Amino acid sequence: MELELPKKFYKERSLQNLVENQTSYALRNAEMHVFETHKNAEQVLLRFDQPVLASMLVGKKVMHLRDKQSFDFLPGESLILPAKELMCIDFPEAKIDNPTRCLAMAINEEKIKRVVQLMNETMPKECGDEWALMDYNFHFTNDKAVYGILNRLLYLFTENHPSKDFFVDNMLQELIVRILQGSSKRNYMRNANTLASTNRLAYIIDFIKNNLHEPMSIGMLSEKACMSESHFFKKFKDEIGQTPVEFINNLRIERAITLLQNPNKKIKEIFLECGFENRSYFNRLFKKIKKVSPSQYQSKFA
């Protein structure tokens, strides 16, 4: 999902440089910068004094960051960087008539600390660890919720409204919570097997990953976690950012996407292998996520 700049941006911006031409909007707890590059360039350096969320709008960048292999940065993706992190950027595809565009939102560190403190007070982690701003470079694909928030922020920063500081503060709080939950989910997905012996949620996630073909219920999973159903449901949603059912269904659809790339495999085999009990529910869920039916998706690989 690609982000779109509001029309007002194009009316108000001023083109001063062909490389990383900057248009900026400053509010109480955040600054929004939109960068445009109109020609190929290499090793362009950029640094912010506050933690920053960068999101690609149009085109491609190649990012070179500390302790991380170079990687392509593409539309629909975001990157969280700590304060004072030095970015080295290449622009291999930028042209005068097809500029590369990226937004960078620097967020007041005190604002982030207040949100993190609120999370630790109201939704503490199961294992006793505390929520904290990641101190590494977190590169991720925007999900539907983050995509919606970023689009709304793009509009709010360019809007002329007397209360937009208040509106943006509320959106920033939700954005920070969702990003930290996304980071937590990725950690569980990568390390569930290692953490399973000491962390009940990790144990359940490891079980889900290895038993997607089997029927599962909240009651069964909460019993395995030695929690009440309500406590298990809340802890799972707080730390992962999804309900257990949403999490299971997303993993099942991911597996189905892989299996559907074999044009000789029957749809019935696939949905049963992924743990779905009937085709109509599988079809409905698959189409909601992928915007095409399973058979239409599979036909691409015929």
pLDDT in tens, 54-73: 999 999 999 999 877 899 99
pLDDT of residue 9: 81
Helix residue ranges, H only, 123-243? 144-158, 164-195, 200-210, 218-224, 229-240
**Rounded CA separation 269/295 (Å):** 13
**The domain boundary residue, chosen from 158, 185, 212:** 185
In a domain, 2, yes or no: no
Place of tokens 């529910």: 281
Structure-token pair, residue 147? 């995509």
Q: Taking the chain, what is the end-to-end CA distance rounded to the nearest angstrom?
A: 26
- Amino acid at residue number 73: F
The model's confidence at residue 206, banded by pLDDT at 50, 70 and 90, is very high
Predicted confidence at residue 158, as pLDDT, reads: 92
The arithmetic mean of pLDDT across residues 112-127, rounded, is 94
- CB-based contact 62:73 (threshold 8 Å): yes
Instruction: Identify whether residues 165 and 264 lie together within a single domain.
Output: no
12 in a structural domain: yes
Q: Does the residue 282 lie in any domain?
A: yes
Judge whether 162 lies within some domain.
Answer: yes
CB 115 within 8 A of CB 177: yes
Q: Which of 64-73, 167-176, 211-220 has the lowest mean pLDDT?
A: 64-73
Domain boundary among 185, 210, 229: 185
111 pLDDT higher than 80 = yes
Q: Are 201 and 181 contained in the same domain?
A: no
With respect to residue 1, please indicate whether it lies within any of the assigned structural domains.
no
Percent of the chain at pLDDT exceeding 90: 85
CA distance 60 to 93: 7
Name residue, tokens 């990790």: 202
Mean pLDDT of 153-171: 94
Instruction: Give how far Cα 40 sits from Cα of 17, 55, 159, Å.
Output: 13, 19, 32
The Cα angle at residue 79 between residues 31 and 6, in degrees rounded to 5: 50
CATH code, domain carrying 281: 1.10.10.60
pLDDT surpassing 80 at residue 25: yes
List the Cα angle 248/254/257 in 5-degree steps: 140
- 203, 221 contact by CB (below 8 A): no
Residue with tokens 């999902």: 1
Distance of CA 300 to the CA centre of its chain: 27
Q: Rounded to the nearest 10 degrees, what angle do helices 164-195 and 109-122 cross at? A: 60
Ranges 9-18, 144-153, 243-252, 269-278: which has the least confidence? 9-18
Residues 17 and 162 in one domain: yes
Q: How far is CA 241 from CA 77, 89, 174, in A?
A: 18, 31, 11
CB 240 within 8 A of CB 247: yes
Closest CA to 93 of 60, 120, 117: 60
Same domain for 295 and 200, yes or no, is yes
Q: Are residues 43 and 173 in the same domain?
A: yes
Question: What secondary structure letter does DSSP report for 236?
Answer: H
Q: Per-residue pLDDT for 76 more than 80?
A: yes
Q: What is the pLDDT of residue 16?
A: 78
| Residue 128: predicted pLDDT | 79
164, HSE (Cβ side, Cα atoms, 13 Å)? 16
Q: What are phi and psi of 82, to 5 degrees?
A: -65, 165
**Per-residue pLDDT at 202 exceeds 90:** yes
Pair of tokens at residue 173: 């709080």
Structural domain of residue 158, as residue ranges? 7-185
Q: Share the mean pLDDT of the chain.
A: 93
Highest mean pLDDT of the ranges 13-17, 23-27, 287-291: 23-27
Q: What is the CATH number of the domain that holds 172?
A: 2.60.120.280
Full-model pTM:
0.90
pLDDT at res. 14: 76
What's the confidence (pLDDT) of residue 6? 84
Lay out the sheet containing 68-73: strands in order across. Answer: 41-46, 87-91, 61-65, 68-73
* pLDDT (mean) for 194-216: 95
